[in-house]
Amino acid sequence: MLLDRFRLDDKVAIVTGAGRGIGQGCALAFAECGAHVVCSARSRNEIDATAERVRAMGPRALAIPCDVNQRDQLEHLVAETMREFGRIDVVVNNAGGWPPKPALQTSEKYFEEALRFNVTSAFLLSRLAIPHMLERDGGSIVNISSAAGRLPMSGFVAYGTAKAALSFMTKELAIELAPRVRVNAIAVGSVETSALTPFLDADLRAKMEAMTPMRRLGAVEDIAIAALYLASPASSYVTGKVMEVDGGLITTNWPY
């Protein structure tokens, strides 16, 4: 059965930023397809809630607080995963983001912090997990990038540059690690998460939907399904790709 290739039975997935939004959506999608999930984020309450929902589906779950900007906490995340499960099969580098700011108000520190949060953290977690993948059957890394990494927008010089770097890092790692470890990314468009909804009034929503070919904003499940495909054997012939899940954008739908 073709659908069986989407199964992740008894695989172990680490998902950062798993307390809400896209990270939580990925964790639940993986659990629905049989994976044990390590839920990581800075908020203990949020990842505990996600872990409970994973367990309710049947798989095991581990909630580990982690600030991805801190190398020692990433090391702890990987060590605890190996202690509990003895393997790592999937890593979703989802934690990221950065507030917009005009270029001439963007300090060197602000710019470099955006790079660390969105790119360096993903590299470090991947670097720590890959040796454990190679000890067994290989694995899959899914980086959550952004349409902002390919569509220039005023005010997004730090965030957009960071996501462009994450997308290119995906390709670099894929070439080096094939065929044992596949590395792909998702260039996410405007998705209704807690990061976007505070800015969404009726006028902004209408403008963004009108500027999106699919005439709607994305849902968390749109990204989670793409991540499931890239994490599972269904995409066993896919590596080094940046999948655009953005409603068909060819220009930005941010109207400012």
Q: Active-site residues: which are they?
A: 159
Distance in angstroms (rounded) separating the CA atoms of residues 224 and 249: 19
Q: Alpha-carbon Rg of the chain, whole angstroms?
A: 17
Residues with Cβ < 8 Å from 46, sequence gap 6 or more?
18, 19, 20, 24
Look up residue 153 and give its amino acid: M
* Bridge partners (DSSP) listed for residue 185: 143, 242
Distance in angstroms (rounded) separating the CA atoms of residues 239 and 82: 25
Is the previous residue joined to 102 through a cis bond, with omega within 30 degrees of 0?
Answer: no
Distance in angstroms (rounded) separating the CA atoms of residues 165 and 118: 9
Token pair listed for 155? 């005010």
* CB-based contact 59:81 (threshold 8 Å): no
* CB-based contact 63:39 (threshold 8 Å): yes
CA atoms within 13 A on the CB side of 165: 19
Distance in angstroms (rounded) separating the CA atoms of residues 40 and 49: 11
Distance in angstroms (rounded) separating the CA atoms of residues 203 and 201: 6
Considering only CA atoms, which of 112, 114, 134, 116 is closest in space to residue 124? 116
